[in-house]
Amino acid sequence: MPNLAIAIIFAISAFTMSFAGYGFALVSVPLLAVFMPVREAVALQFPYCFALIAYQAWHYREHFFWKDMKPMAAGVALGIVIGTFLLYHLPGVVLKRALAVFIGMVVLLNLTPAGQRLINRYAQNPWWGHLCGFLSGSFLGAYSISGPPAALYILSVQRDPLRVKSFLNSFFFFQYAIIALIYSFTGIISGASLVASTAFVPVVAAGSAVGFFAFRWASIRVYHWVVVLILLGTSVALWWGA
């Protein structure tokens, strides 16, 4: 029963998004692609992903600080221009696995005291933000994968979960606003796809509510471990799905 499977996928994706601050498309698109073409999967989940990003960006607006965003912004601008060109002209499998290794190495370094000291040493340098922004912009343009590099960056410079979620959703909002226009003009999103998406409003709302509730009661340590596990899962998925 595909509709039941889609509903479960959306519920899990909404929970992940509301708890971690990102990950709706990261969870939903690969799983939905089991039941439908990737283009249809992207169109079906996009309205919910964009809506949750917009809501969380507004909800956590008091915790937003431009200084967290500034290093990433410069990197994204450069990444979208140069990175997208390179990604379309170099082997995709190599680049996806390179991103997988990069994510895995940074996450694993963060799990050891020596690695944390090394990351903290370089995380304060603006070039770390530029690099993560470049990777985010590059993979957004070619593969619609921008979350992991952004999450790596903000977790390296900020420990407050509220500021992490505010940063991620504000960062993604501007990216997804541009993508929404592109998808509309290219026909990826249509009236038919929007109507099809509305059938799953209740499960997305329920998953989001549970995610917000779990986040409210989770400790900082639990929150960071959940995000780390999502990043590690992303790394594995990128490697094997390349």
Residue 84 has pLDDT above 70, yes or no: no
Among 81-90, 109-118, 127-136, the range scoring the smallest mean pLDDT is 81-90
CB atoms within 10 A of CB 181: 11
HSE on the CB side for 115, CA within 13 Å? 10
Total domain count, the chain = 1
Mean pLDDT over each residue of the chain, to the nearest integer: 80
Range of the domain at 137: 2-241
d(CA 226, CA 116): 17
The pLDDT value given to residue 209:
94
Q: For the segment 12-54, what is each residue's pLDDT rounded down to a tens digit?
A: 999 988 988 888 887 888 788 778 887 788 889 989 999 999 9
Average pLDDT over residues 101-118: 74
Answer whether 13's CB lies under 8 Å from 28's CB.
yes
**Share of the chain residues as helix, strand and coil, in percent rounded to the nearest 5:** 85, 0, 15
Q: For the segment 201-229, what is each residue's pLDDT rounded down to a tens digit?
A: 999 999 999 998 999 888 888 887 887 88
Average pLDDT over residues 165-170: 87
Residues 6 or more apart in contact with residue 45 via CB below 8 angstroms: 10, 13, 24, 25, 28, 29, 32, 197
Q: Which of 94-108, 179-193, 201-215 has the highest mean pLDDT?
A: 201-215
Average pLDDT over residues 86-114: 72
> What percent of the chain lies above the pLDDT cut of 70?
86
